[in-house]
Structure formats: C-alpha cells, structure tokens
A and B are shown apart, each in its own frame.
Chain A
Amino acid sequence: MHELGIVFYIIRDVKQVAEENSVKHVSKVVMNIGEVSTVVPEYLTDCWRWAADKEDLLRGCELEVQTIGAVSFCEDCKTEFGTVAHGKTCPCCGSGKTYLLRGNEVEIKEIEIKEE
C-alpha cells in the first residue's frame, strides 16, 4: 500500500501549486501512471478519496488516472516492444540488453480549477 504514501506526496505538491496560484479549491487532479510503475490505480483513487476529503482545498476533488503503456528498447536490434508482454527479453532477437523507455511514470500531469 505505498499508494497512501504517494497520495500524501500528491497532496503536498498540489497544495504548493495551489498556493503559488492563489487557488482556493481544486476540482480535478490528473495523474500519469506508468503500466509498470507498481502503482495500482484503484488503490490510488481509494486512498485519494480518504485523504483528499480531509483537506478544504481538495474536498470532492476527482483523481483521474491516465495510464502510460510500458515500452522497452532493445540495444542489439534497436526494436521497441511492449514490456508487459515480453519482460526484459527482446521478442525480435532474444537479447537481454534491453531497457525501459517509458511506463515507470508516477507524475502529476495537471490540475483543474472550476472558475465561477
């Protein structure tokens, strides 16, 4: 359940941005979550509801998760392939010299504020 710790980080960052922009209430936070980031989106949104509703700034604020597919790259044959399907082994040439290009993100993409 590191999702709860991550939720506390999100709240800390969003609070800071809100303060810098004199925002009183945030209606939505959009997250980019990589497919192999080990964050479970359902746990994240459950923890979010519990923690966000304790803050005036975030009461009722929705957390939207946008998933980023995991893609790896093979150094030997220069192919890109899906990490979830093939792991660390290149499906084209069988090489193990591969690395993750994307899919490890746990980032706050943007926040939305409803204007009167």
Chain B
Amino acid sequence: MDKVKVIEIKKSVFEDNNREADGLRAELKSRGVFLLNLMSSPGSGKTTTLISLINRLKGKLRIAVMEADIDSDVDAVKIKESTGIESIQLHTGGMCHLDAGMTRQGLDNLPLDGFDLVILENVGNLVCPAEFDTGSCTNAMILSVPEGDDKPLKYPLMFSVCDTVIVNKTDVLPYFTFDLDRCRKNVLARNPKAEIFPVCALSGEGIDALAEHILKMVKDWKEN
C-alpha cells in the first residue's frame, strides 16, 4: 500500500484575488483614476444606461469603458459610436465574471493617466461577478423593472456588494407588478448603505441624479 503524505493548506481560494484587487485599488488611487464596476443580469439595459450617462458626464470627466463579455464586441462598438469615448472589449474566455487579474490586463490597454473615470461593464450575470473583487473603487448594479422587485431577496450577495443600485426601465412600471418601495426595502435589507436611483435610460429620466452621484464619487476618490 502507498503511503500518503498530507500537506495542510487551509487557505481561501479568493485570498490571492483579494490581494491583487487591493493592490490594483491602491494603484488607481495613487493615479487618481476611479474604477466603477457595473453589474446586472443580461438585458437590463447596461449599455443603453451607460451611453445616456456618459453623454451627460463626458464634458466633466475623461471617461473610458471596458466591456467584458464571453464573446463579440458589439457593446464596445456601440459605446464608441454613440458617445465617441475610448472603449475596449475584453473577452473572458468562457468565464462568467471578471477577476482582478483580468481587470488589470484590460487596464494595461488604456493610457490610464488620461482618465478620471473608467467604467467596467461586467458580464451580465447576478451570481458570479459578485463573488470576485475586480479591484474597482465601487460596485454598482442595474435592476430593470421587468426582472421584479424580489431580486434582492434571490441574489443577496450581489445586492450586498453594491452601494449604488440603478432601477432601470421605469417607463414600463405601469405594466408590471414591480413596487419601488418594496424594492427599496429589499435592497436596504441587504445593504443599508445602498443608494437607489430609478431611471429610464431610453428617455433619460433620472439620469441627471445618477450622473451627479457618480461625479461626486469620482471627486471624493480624487480628493480624499
């Protein structure tokens, strides 16, 4: 019979990623770049919301976007065509999320010192991206009205890691049972610090308040 040697490790598999993410955040801080990690389920209107938001912010901030998808570059092309800003596409090679290493590789393709705000559009998914710290300075997520106000209950981790929750497609509220107050209660139960912004990306309603909020976060990051 073979003798078996056991080596005890007792180490969280997220430990290295968390360390890389902290390193990336410290570097972004020293260079005065604010990285926002935007998450949501597929079809919630991430790209449309970004276009509306960027068109309001681009006169005030130097912005770049990194699009992460499993495949294709439709989002990066759409952002560039609709806003004129720098936009790059990352492919995750089949993976459902980005981690700090992949985010850093993406940032290496941008002349970082030329930007105040870099928005990372994560893979559309409410589960996996919440597990991995990307090294971002803040996490935001979009919940669209047709998805339902119960999502914070079903995807607790996503809502506990996001300090900004954008409720999109408010124009269809009359056709769904979505209740904004109930949604607010469910979000705050997961993260009492969360700020909630109801918007309609298509009409632009509510985008000004969201733009102000992001402007303030970028300013605070640079100054403090």
Give residues in A with beta carbon < 8 Å to B. 1-2, 4-6, 9-10, 12-14, 17, 21, 23, 27, 38, 88, 96, 105-116
Please report whether the interface of chain B is mostly helix, strand, loop or mixed according to DSSP: mixed
Partner of B127, one of A2, A14, A107: A2
Chain B window 101-137, contacts with chain A (Cβ cutoff 8 Å), 1 for yes, 0 for no: 0000000000000000000000000011001100000
A48 to B128, CA, bound (A): 17
CB-CB under 8 A for A110 and B14, given A1-B128, A5-B132: no
Q: Is B74 close to A, CB under 8 A?
A: no
* Contact across chains for B16 and A13 when beta carbons are under 8 A apart: yes
Give residues in B with beta carbon < 8 Å to A. 2-14, 16-17, 94-97, 99, 127-128, 131-132, 157, 189
Tell me which residues across on chain B come within 8 A of A1, comparing CB atoms.
95-96, 128
Partner of B99, one of A5, A14, A17, A112: A5
CB-CB under 8 A for A115 and B10, given A2-B128, A2-B132, A5-B99: no
Tell me which residues across on chain A come within 8 A of B157, comparing CB atoms.
38
* Contact across chains for A106 and B12 when beta carbons are under 8 A apart: yes
A31 to B122, CA, bound (A): 28
* Contact across chains for B132 and A108 when beta carbons are under 8 A apart: no
* Contact across chains for B5 and A113 when beta carbons are under 8 A apart: yes
Please report whether the interface of chain A is mostly helix, strand, loop or mixed according to DSSP: mixed
- Interface-central residue, B17, B128, B157, by most chain A CB under 10 Å: B128
Partner of A108, one of B2, B3, B11, B96: B11
Partner of A38, one of B3, B13, B95, B131: B131
9 pairs from A and B in contact (CB 8 Å cutoff) = A1-B96, A2-B128, A4-B96, A5-B96, A5-B97, A17-B9, A96-B189, A105-B12, A110-B6
Partner of A107, one of B3, B4, B11, B94: B11
* Contact across chains for B5 and A9 when beta carbons are under 8 A apart: no
* Contact across chains for B128 and A17 when beta carbons are under 8 A apart: no
* Contact across chains for A38 and B17 when beta carbons are under 8 A apart: no
5 interchain residue pairs of minimum CB distance: A2-B128, A9-B13, A114-B2, A108-B9, A115-B3
Q: How far is the CB of A105 from chain B (nearest CB, A)?
A: 7
Q: How far is the CB of A7 from chain B (nearest CB, A)?
A: 9
A96 to B3, CA, bound (A): 50
* Contact across chains for A111 and B6 when beta carbons are under 8 A apart: yes
Q: How far is the CB of A45 from chain B (nearest CB, A)?
A: 15
* Contact across chains for B13 and A113 when beta carbons are under 8 A apart: no
* Contact across chains for B96 and A111 when beta carbons are under 8 A apart: no
Partner of B7, one of A21, A96, A107, A114: A21
